[in-house]
Structure 1
Amino acid sequence: MPSISVIIPVYNDADLLRTCLAAIAAQTRPADEVIVVDNASTDASADVAREAGARIVPEPHRGILWATTAGFDAATGDILARLDADSVPPPRWLERIEADFQTQPEASAITGTAWFYGGTAFSRWFGRYCFLGAYFTLIAYLLGHPPLFGSNFALRADAWQRMRDGLHLSRNDVHDDLDLSYRIEPDMRVIFDRNLGMSISARPFGTVAGFLRRVGWGFATVFVNEREQPFWRRRAERRAAGLIGAPLAPWHKAQAGRD
């Protein structure tokens, strides 16, 4: 059986991290290790992680891409499962990740979707049907495969080693999951499991300024990567490898993952 490392970057999110770690502890398939990357927090995040028995990896350089990289580098598992401090995984999250990799051994990565908690009814609807809808549809076209979703994905450790060196760690305006998605090589297969669900906070959509900042990061990430390799060339390489990608399942119908 493959070993699974769970990686959770955190910055000043002690209360939400406590809820996330409790959900990880309640998994039907226990994690082999839980790594909390303390990204220079000034609150009790590290204490919360320590009390939960997680392994703490400090990353003083602020930035989600730096924190994700530090966690993946420190992990010892065969599979690296990634979520955020404000994520609340359903009890069978790790069980489903393990089953996906076992039944689809050709997969280098598995990614899922999410539903939102908190905020207003409009922000939850907007996040699910507009933000995630655009992300999975438009970025999948540019990449030729489903994009990784930072709050809910898993990589094989050997895939991470191949992807790592191309990341844009020198920039502070890129999305970590989107930058990682661009590092998927032409022969790597990404599986979108519409039933691999995750509950995450709707707080990114709480203010217009916050939302526009995230959109700006998205455009910056696309720009820097498209400048290095335009989407048409990337899609041609995947087509030549026979991996242009199967059509996405209806992401907005992902309900079964809530168990």
Structure 2
Amino acid sequence: MPSELPAVSVVIPCRNDAVLLEACLQSLARQSLPPREIVVVDNNSSDASAEVARRFGARVVFEPAAGIPAAAGAGYDAAAERLDPDAVIARCDADCVLPPDWIARIAEAFAADPKLEVLSGPGVFYGMPRLSALLLSRLYLGSYYLAMGSALAHWPFFGSNLALRAGTWQAVSGEVHRNDAQMHDDVCLSFHLGQGRRCRRDPHLTVGMAPRAVQSRANVALRFRRAFHTLAGHWPQEYPWVRWTRRFAGSKAAVPTAPAN
């Protein structure tokens, strides 16, 4: 294992999620490798989210523009300004619960591969029977990976469990659709970084996530609408056949490596 690990700062977009945010921050307080910094982006919360974040020692950044793309972008900006380009920004959601070795595994992966720019892993729903959680999580994320992977010509990133170099973010911070609240910010980031960068999906880097995305037809429908909106927002320049042709043409752009064993 490399002796020197990169600094890892954590970004958490948040809007009116004080209760779940507290559980998330508690899990970060139990990390075997503490983060360099935690940045909680208050996206116009009307509850105690900002107060909870400060109580756990997080830096609170206020982002008035509504939507996860703007909030995540503001968090990446805030974290990157205090990091070297080779340091790492890890991203989770306010409703995530992180395993105690989450930051350590991220740091070790980037230290072991100096050319690695993006690392992402899956999530498992919590708050339900274990078997149901595993099956539903695999169905939900499996559909996401299959649909978006087909459109992108590589594995998509998953925003609830994502890490990237600070310098990598700075290189595309002006290109992503950060002011479009209907975008899936992780899919947008996948469009801009997935080809031409060294990226990896690690199926063993797993986080806990609340099942809100699948608890109602309205939530499921909203995610489908945003998925189509995100794809259409990158077309026609990034039509699926354009990206697949680029992948198989043997261009110098590198595509994400296979999942880690």
Q: Provide the residue aligned with 2:13 in structure 1.
A: 9
Listed one character per residue, the Cα deviations across residues 48-86 of structure 1 (whole Å, up to 9, x for unaligned) are 011111000000111100000000001123100000000
Cα deviation for residue 120 of structure 1 reads 7.4
Aligned counterpart in structure 2 of residue 60 of structure 1, from 59, 64, 69: 64
Q: Provide the residue aligned with 1:36 in structure 2.
A: 40
5+ residue gaps, structure 1: 251-259
Aligned counterpart in structure 2 of residue 96 of structure 1, from 99, 105, 124: 105
**Any conservation in 2 of the 1:144–1:245 contact (CA below 8 Å)?**
no
Q: Provide the residue aligned with 1:20 in structure 2.
A: 24
Q: Provide the residue aligned with 1:140 in structure 2.
A: 149
Give the 3-state SS of the residue equivalent to 2:133 in structure 1.
helix
The two structures have a TM-score, normalised by structure 2, of 0.89
1:181 partnered with 2:190: yes
More helix by share: 1
1:111 partnered with 2:131: no
5+ residue gaps, structure 2: none
Cα deviation for residue 247 of structure 1 reads 4.0
Aligned counterpart in structure 2 of residue 71 of structure 1, from 65, 70, 75: 75
Change (3 A) 1:127 1:219: farther
Aligned length: 250
Give the 3-state SS of the residue equivalent to 1:210 in structure 2.
helix
Aligned counterpart in structure 2 of residue 47 of structure 1, from 48, 51, 55: 51
Cα deviation for residue 131 of structure 1 reads 1.8
**Any conservation in 2 of the 1:87–1:151 contact (CA below 8 Å)?**
yes
What letter corresponds to residue 242 of structure 2 in structure 1?
A: R
